[in-house]
Amino acid sequence: MSYGKLVRDNIPNIIKQNGEEPITRILSKEEYKNELEKKLLEECNEVLETDDSRIEELADLLEVIIALGKLQGKTFEDIINVCEQKRLKRGAFDKMIYLEDVK
């Protein structure tokens, strides 16, 4: 079966444990960035398509976000800090406010 996509680091070993032989290669930095961006969209769609295991899909999405941050030289903590700063300045989404128009 052909996959042609970025996978988590342990997937090749899991495939081997299942008695199959994975065919892999290491991506260039540019390819890696492009594949992470594809994975970001894939994981976003999976979050939107499920209700039951949404927490699992959100965790996958977060893992991609962390990897994209690393490409920019940022850590998970850096991302969380920026998130907190934005929350303090602009708020969160807790109040469910829907902006219809501005006059």
pLDDT tens-digit series, residues 57-81 = 999 999 999 999 999 999 999 999 9
Q: Is residue 4 part of a domain?
A: no
Assess whether pLDDT exceeds 90 at residue 86.
yes
What would the two tokens of residue 80 be?
């969380």
Q: Is residue 100 part of a domain?
A: no
Q: Is residue 98 part of a domain?
A: no
Cβ-contact 59, 47 below 8 angstroms: no
For the full predicted model, state whether its pTM sits above 0.75.
yes
Q: Is residue 14 part of a domain?
A: no
What φ, ψ does residue 33 adopt, rounded to 5°?
-60, -45
Parent domain of 49:
28-90
Q: Is residue 50 part of a domain?
A: yes
Cβ-contact 35, 6 below 8 angstroms: yes
Residue found under tokens 């920019």: 72
Q: Is residue 72 part of a domain?
A: yes
How many residues are listed for the chain in this entry?
103
What would the two tokens of residue 38 be?
């594809």
Helices 54-71, 76-90: axis angle to 10 degrees equals 110
Number of domains forming the structure of the chain: 1
